[in-house]
Amino acid sequence: MNALVDTSPYVSRRNRVFAAIGDGIAIVPTAPEVLRNRDTGFLYRHDSYFYYLTGFAEPEAVIVLLGGNERRAVLFCREKNLDREIWDGYRYGPDAARDIFHFDAALPITQLKEQLAEMMSDRSVVHTPIGMSAAWDAEISGAINAVRTRARTGVSAPGTVIDVRALLDDMRLIKDDHEIALMRRSAAIASQAHRRAMRHARPGQFEYEVEAEIAHEFIRHGARVPAYNHIVASGPNACVLHYNDSNRRMQDGDLLLIDAGCEYEGYASDITRTFPVSGTFSGPQRDIYQAVLDAELACMESLRPGRPFNEYHDVAERVLSQRLLDLGLLTGSLDEVLEQRTFTRFYMHRAGHWLGMDVHDAGDYRKRGVWQTLQPGMVLTNEPGLYIRPDAAVPEHFWNIGVRIEDDVLITATGNEVLTSATPKTVADVVSACERR
């Protein structure tokens, strides 16, 4: 419950949708509750598109935007129910939701079916998520059919359904001030968690003990859930890109790769750092670490307004390939390595992705064959890495070294702002952050 909701960002986003849909109708549902096992649910998470337009985090809710002269935002939500509130906690109910979140009207969700048919009547275009869930597709076609059955009363049914997510994706790609403030906070909390992990990790501990330090720091700052499953990967596990077991006992001489970000007020951070569990890098570990760091820093130069999204991916591939050649891990010329993509033995993912409410956030990377141009307000990750599995063709001292370095970057009018810059990154800073000890 929050009686002091700043609704202005949501109202202004809804106004942009009104401007885009003309006299159409936009209908966006929140996410369903999902069972984890038997009768126990996963912790509820709202749908990002719905939340973007409402700031309303309860399940069983739908926002309807009636365009044209009517221009009304109508929320459907759960009714007050003292009995349910004794068991499950507070719910706003339509009246309080309307007043606190500044909707033009709010109605019980039980009226959705009947009201949708009414609201769609004589509107030619419906904007709604298409193919997001079979249940929602059925709800929408059911409502359109219900209008059709009333045709003899003189109403006409919408002839066009457009996926509203294309419009919302374009909007979500450029973060507004409200979002940027939340993302700064999310990044600051995650950064603090990584520093805590560096301070606490030591040989002999299990990976899950370090994971607990990360979770502790997230939760004590009000970020109760991670933005994605933590990756706490020591030694050979660092070469498993989506390692989630967290059950290995760490040894002296291991590197520990932690990819962990929190969700704060609905916004994700996404940080990776790699550090020596014992506090000191071996020679080969430092060489690989420095190669990844050089690539990451070179990528930062391409993260500025006007540059194509793909540029920093090319930079990462070029710098990493050159370093792999320098270290004798690849052979041939740089051009051959890039052309034949032999570097993918050690670097097999992209250099980053949009970041926002979702860790792999909404928005096209390429539109009709042309890479997006970076613009102020976009937020993305910069995350090159190298992963060297045991391989007879590779000197043994490089085996099982996995390094990724990942920062969250806001494109600004003049360049960029690294939201996660408080996370130690140079060899010297990482070593000193590992001292506690």
- Chain positions contacting ligand GLY, by CB under 6 A: 228, 259, 270, 353, 359, 383, 406
Q: Identify whether the C-beta of residue 273 lies closer than 8 Å to the C-beta of residue 430.
A: yes
Q: Is 230 a catalytic residue?
A: no
Catalytic residue among 16, 216, 248, 360: 360
Pick from 367, 271, 269, 267: nearest CA to 310 = 367
Q: Is 383 a catalytic residue?
A: yes
In the complex, least distance from residue 245 CB atom to ligand GLY, rounded to whole angstroms: 16
Beta bridge partner(s), residue 297: none
CA angle at 184 for the pair 178 and 187, rounded to the nearest 5°: 140
DSSP secondary structure code for residue 43 in this structure: P
Catalytic residue among 13, 387, 407, 408: 387
Determine the straight-line distance between the first and last CA of the chain, rounded to whole angstroms.
42
Q: Is 314 a catalytic residue?
A: no
Indicate the residue among 380 and 401 with the shorter CB distance to ligand GLY.
Answer: 380
In the complex, least distance from residue 259 CB atom to ligand GLY, rounded to whole angstroms: 5
Q: What are phi and psi of 325, to 5 degrees?
A: -65, -45
Q: What are phi and psi of 383, to 5 degrees?
A: -145, 60
In the complex, least distance from residue 284 CB atom to Mn ion, rounded to whole angstroms: 24
Alpha-helical runs (H) found in 89-133: 93-101, 112-120
In the complex, least distance from residue 269 CB atom to Mn ion, rounded to whole angstroms: 9
In the complex, least distance from residue 84 CB atom to ligand GLY, rounded to whole angstroms: 36
Q: Is 178 a catalytic residue?
A: no
Catalytic residue among 242, 335, 368, 435: 242
CA distance 384 to 372: 20
Q: Identify whether the C-beta of residue 247 lies closer than 8 Å to the C-beta of residue 208.
A: yes
Pattern 238-267, Mn ion, x by CB under 5 A: ---------------------x--------
Q: Is 404 a catalytic residue?
A: yes
DSSP secondary structure code for residue 128 in this structure: E
Contacting residues for 387 by C-beta, under 8 A, at least 6 apart:
238, 239, 241, 346, 347, 348, 401, 402, 403
Residue whose pair of structure tokens reads 């009333």 in the numeric block: 150
Site for Mn ion in 393-412 (CB under 5 A): 406
Catalytic residue among 196, 349, 350, 389: 349
Catalytic residue among 39, 83, 335, 435: 39
Q: How far is CA 377 from the centre of its chain?
A: 15
Helices (H) and strands (E) in the chain, counts: 13, 21
- Residue number of the CB atom closest to ligand GLY: 259
DSSP secondary structure code for residue 344 in this structure: G
Indicate the residue among 47 and 270 with the shorter CB distance to ligand GLY.
Answer: 270
In the complex, least distance from residue 197 CB atom to ligand GLY, rounded to whole angstroms: 15
Q: Is 70 a catalytic residue?
A: no
Indicate the residue among 298 and 359 with the shorter CB distance to ligand GLY.
Answer: 359
Residue 10 interacting entry, from Mn ion, ligand GLY, none, C-beta within 5 to 8 Å by type: none
Among 381, 416, 420, 423, binds Mn ion (CB under 5 A): 381
Axis crossing angle, helix 8-21 with helix 177-200, rounded to the nearest 10: 130
In the complex, least distance from residue 336 CB atom to ligand GLY, rounded to whole angstroms: 29
Q: Is 221 a catalytic residue?
A: no
Q: Is 270 a catalytic residue?
A: yes
Q: Identify whether the C-beta of residue 348 lies closer than 8 Å to the C-beta of residue 387.
A: yes
What residue type is 115 in one-letter code?
Answer: Q
Q: Is 387 a catalytic residue?
A: yes
Indicate the residue among 58 and 263 with the shorter CB distance to Mn ion.
Answer: 263
Among 270, 311, 361, 408, binds Mn ion (CB under 5 A): 270
Residue 228 interacting entry, from Mn ion, ligand GLY, none, C-beta within 5 to 8 Å by type: ligand GLY
Q: Is 53 exposed, middle or buried (0-12, 13-18, 19+ CB in 10 A)?
A: buried
Catalytic residue among 270, 287, 358, 408: 270
Indicate the residue among 296 and 406 with the shorter CB distance to ligand GLY.
Answer: 406
Structure tokens at 108: 């019980």
In the complex, least distance from residue 383 CB atom to Mn ion, rounded to whole angstroms: 5
**DSSP collapsed to 3 states, 184-225:** HHHHHHHHHHHHHHHHHCCCCCEHHHHHHHHHHHHHHCCCCE
Catalytic residue among 102, 150, 318, 353: 353
Catalytic residue among 211, 217, 383, 408: 383
Residues near Mn ion, by CB under 5 A: 259, 270, 381, 406
Residues recognised as catalytic: 39, 242, 259, 270, 349, 353, 360, 383, 387, 404, 406
